[in-house]
Structure 1
Amino acid sequence: MKTRFLSLDIFRGITLAMMILVNTSGNGEFTYAPLKHASWHGFTPTDLVFPSFLFMVGVAMRFAFKSFQFQLTPTLRNKILKRTVLLFLINYLIFYFPFLDFSLENMRFLNVLPRIALSYCAISFIVLLVEEKWLTGVNVAILLLYWILMLVFGDHGAAFDLGTNAVRKLDLFLFGPSHLYHGDGIAFDPEGLLSTLPAFSTCLFGYQVSLFLEKRRVDGKEVTFPLVSAGAGLIVLALIWNFAFPINKKLWSSSFVLLCAGIDFILIALIYWWIEIKERKFANTFFLVFGTNSILAYGISELLAIQLNKWQIAEGDGTTSASNWMYWHLFEPVLGKYNGSLAYAISFVLVCWIICYVFYRKKWFLKV
């Protein structure tokens, strides 16, 4: 009997490809709206990418723990803690390499990989220590607790605003403004410590889907309709909750968690049907290259993007980044502003894929 699902690696690969695509637009001012995050409340397809990746972390955990019979042995405990620390270290290596302009005073402590690390660590211990029948209750409790904390500690009447929410308040108290993201005009981290709590739920949803698929395969029961139905139900709940707790990716609101989980349920059901049941193989290898080496693919994409932004090229009386130079001199003149920006992003995905393909052919996989 197979122990892994090809469709899950394919889904992870699709998610990685989309993550690289939306993170490396040729020019942020000329990016098609669906490829940009919602400015605050609301939702775009791009907002689904990171939650889907975190969702797949939860999916993979089920397979990773199988060899330990899902028992929290000292060996497994140490492995979980080691992986958590390594993900933090990889994050700092990616974003501050080669450390020539590194400043501890302005170091951003939290980011994508730290959120993944904390979610992986927390959910690992939860699923290994809590009986399976209680996991849905744990998930509900996480989402309700986060909602309550946001209401209690955010400003009255403005608990979900950019400058007055509990996520920002806690990060400012613990880290100070110099260690937070400033891309929204003020010190506010979209991967804040408090908003990592509902990210645990996203990861747990992934684990529960993996558990569901595993049991259905053993019992020989149908998968697609139950997952699609559950996904549709979660989306309806998210839209209802949106009236009280707005769908917001940067706050990782509880309604946002339900919406993304619902969409991922449906997507994974359709991909499972296409790959496992219909046994279609279109573009499988392309996505497997990313899906089987996801941390490597993400690391390469971020490291390359950061270095291209740091590399300065003479332009007129000053300089411009290599990425900006390539956009204006290679892509924009041929394809125009918006299509040129998209073409740059697609080209960047392909460059990352070629690098990862070498690792794939050599069977070199980054195991953290």
Structure 2
Amino acid sequence: MAKERNIAIDVFRGLTIFLMIVVNTMGPGAEPYPVLAHADWFGFTFADFVFPSFLFVMGSSLAFVAARPMPDHEYLFKVLRRAGLLFAIGFFMYWFPFVHVTRALTYAPNLLSEVRIMGVLQRIALCYAAAALAVRYFSPRQLIALSVALLACYWASLVFMVAPGDAFDRLNNIGTVIDRAVLGQSHMWRWDGGFEPEGLLGTVPATVNVLAGYLAIRFLKRDGRRLGVLALCGVALTVVALGLDESLPISKKLWTPSFVLLTVGLDFILLAALAAVLDLWKLPVRTGFFEVFGKNPLAIYLFSELLIPLQALFKPLFKIEPYQWLGVAVFQRLAPGALGSLLCAIAFTLLCWLFGYILYRQRLYIRL
């Protein structure tokens, strides 16, 4: 059962990596479908569902890793080593390729003093470390209580630690205040008015997404036939989140508690569906495509993230970035509008899949 469960998790992980790359690389030349663009502040789109789902499936995998017997010092060393490497790779990713093209089509260095400190991999690293330590020392019931406490404390900090009216303000919420004080404005995300979407404080509620994935697998490992119960819990959490939206707005960028409840609820439902199809009913579903993504998620994600800035360096030679030309000259002529933008992103994602497939055929699995 554990081995089969790993297949479902690989598919889940692979699906999230596939969607992360698609959402992050929508083709130029047209606005994407609204459902594939992140909500500007409040609200929820399909794109908003992808990152928390990856955190959830990371927690699901943690249920197997944490079950392996090892002394505390070895476990702590592995957790901190992996978290440190993930954080360092994320930082390096934003510094790469160490130069950028200016408006005058010349090259200028990427200054270390302006490199973004936080980001997707950095948040994954911090959430992983916090969740891995929690599952080592707390029982499942204690983890549930911890999750509730983390969401309650985060919500209280949003509402009560800033002036009235600034709780959900983009630049004056407590998370942004902390990021400016600790990270410095020059090390924060520059394309959202100075707001850091993967800020330090948001790591607290995001850790609950990881813990939820761990708890879901712990629940199913006791009896894999309890998928219906897991799905019903997912429905209940989704309904509660939507009901709280008026007083506790759903916002990915702030990672509000209602956003956590909504994404965890949907992930419970999705995990139950995948486990039913792949494990319980054993339907003849071909999963190889997503398993390629799931076997090497870090390598494929890094390939996608590093290839975009690397191709931008060819702009002085061609007077246009290759990806910009591909999106406008090829895919917008093939299918004008949002469809062309989506097809361009899918083509790029398939290129990333091919890279992963080569690694898969060579039995190369990059692990930290």
TM-score by length of 2: 0.93
The residue that corresponds to 2:24 in the other structure is: 23
Q: Is this contact kept in 2: 1:110–1:192, CA < 8 A?
A: yes
Aligned CA distance change for structure 1 residues 236 and 271 (closer, same or farther; 3 Å): same
Aligned CA distance change for structure 1 residues 343 and 266 (closer, same or farther; 3 Å): same
The offset of 1:309, in angstroms, is: 3.2
The offset of 1:161, in angstroms, is: 1.9
Deviates more, 1:97-106 or 1:249-258: 97-106
- Is 2:219 the counterpart of 1:212? yes
Deviates more, 1:122-131 or 1:274-283: 274-283
The CA distance in 1 between the partners of 2:30 and 2:17, in whole Å, is: 23
Q: Is this contact kept in 2: 1:13–1:292, CA < 8 A?
A: yes
The CA distance in 2 between the partners of 1:112 and 1:311, in whole Å, is: 26
The offset of 1:192, in angstroms, is: 0.3
Q: Is this contact kept in 1: 2:94–2:115, CA < 8 A?
A: no
The residue that corresponds to 1:227 in the other structure is: 230
- Is 2:206 the counterpart of 1:199? yes
The offset of 1:216, in angstroms, is: 1.3
> How do 1:41-60 residues align onto structure 2 when only pairs under 5 Å count?
41-60=42-61
> How do 1:170-181 residues align onto structure 2 when only pairs under 5 Å count?
170-181=178-189
SS in 2 for 1:67: coil
Q: Is this contact kept in 2: 1:154–1:166, CA < 8 A?
A: yes
Q: Is this contact kept in 2: 1:95–1:302, CA < 8 A?
A: no
CA-to-aligned-CA distance 1:192-225 (integer Å, 9 cap, x gap): 00011101111111110111111113xxxx2221
Q: Is this contact kept in 2: 1:159–1:165, CA < 8 A?
A: yes
Q: Name the Cα RMSD after superposition.
A: 1.5
CA-to-aligned-CA distance 1:40-76 (integer Å, 9 cap, x gap): 10000000000000111111111112222xx652111
The residue that corresponds to 1:354 in the other structure is: 354
Aligned length: 358
Structure 2: runs of 5+ lacking an equivalent: 100-108
The residue that corresponds to 2:105 in the other structure is: none
The CA distance in 2 between the partners of 1:158 and 1:103, in whole Å, is: 32
Q: Is this contact kept in 2: 1:234–1:261, CA < 8 A?
A: yes
The residue that corresponds to 1:125 in the other structure is: 133
Amino acid at match of 2:263: C
The offset of 1:29, in angstroms, is: 4.3
Deviates more, 1:275-284 or 1:223-232: 275-284
The CA distance in 1 between the partners of 2:20 and 2:176, in whole Å, is: 25
Deviates more, 1:91-100 or 1:345-354: 91-100
Amino acid at match of 1:65: A
The offset of 1:28, in angstroms, is: 7.2
The residue that corresponds to 1:327 in the other structure is: 327
Aligned CA distance change for structure 1 residues 326 and 107 (closer, same or farther; 3 Å): same
Aligned CA distance change for structure 1 residues 28 and 118 (closer, same or farther; 3 Å): farther
The residue that corresponds to 2:247 in the other structure is: 244
Amino acid at match of 1:211: R
The offset of 1:122, in angstroms, is: 0.5
Deviates more, 1:130-139 or 1:247-256: 130-139
Amino acid at match of 1:290: F
The CA distance in 1 between the partners of 2:65 and 2:4, in whole Å, is: 10
Deviates more, 1:163-172 or 1:110-119: 163-172
Aligned CA distance change for structure 1 residues 109 and 202 (closer, same or farther; 3 Å): same
The CA distance in 1 between the partners of 2:151 and 2:60, in whole Å, is: 19
Q: Is this contact kept in 1: 2:94–2:116, CA < 8 A?
A: no
Q: Is this contact kept in 1: 2:55–2:209, CA < 8 A?
A: yes
Amino acid at match of 1:244: S
Q: Is this contact kept in 1: 2:29–2:327, CA < 8 A?
A: no
CA-to-aligned-CA distance 1:253-289 (integer Å, 9 cap, x gap): 0100000000000011111111112223433000000
The CA distance in 2 between the partners of 1:352 and 1:24, in whole Å, is: 11
Structure 1: runs of 5+ lacking an equivalent: none
The CA distance in 2 between the partners of 1:325 and 1:82, in whole Å, is: 41
> Which residue of the other structure, out of 160, 165, 170, is the alignment partner of 1:157?
165
The residue that corresponds to 2:344 in the other structure is: 344
Q: Is this contact kept in 2: 1:331–1:344, CA < 8 A?
A: yes
The CA distance in 2 between the partners of 1:223 and 1:132, in whole Å, is: 17
Deviates more, 1:339-348 or 1:235-244: 235-244
CA-to-aligned-CA distance 1:132-169 (integer Å, 9 cap, x gap): 22111011001001000001123312311212211111
The offset of 1:3, in angstroms, is: 4.0
> How do 1:301-312 residues align onto structure 2 when only pairs under 5 Å count?
301-312=304-315
The CA distance in 1 between the partners of 2:309 and 2:161, in whole Å, is: 35
- How high is the sequence identity, in percent, across the aligned residues? 36
- Is 2:148 the counterpart of 1:147? no
The residue that corresponds to 2:40 in the other structure is: 39
The offset of 1:20, in angstroms, is: 0.6
TM-score by length of 1: 0.93
SS in 2 for 1:30: coil
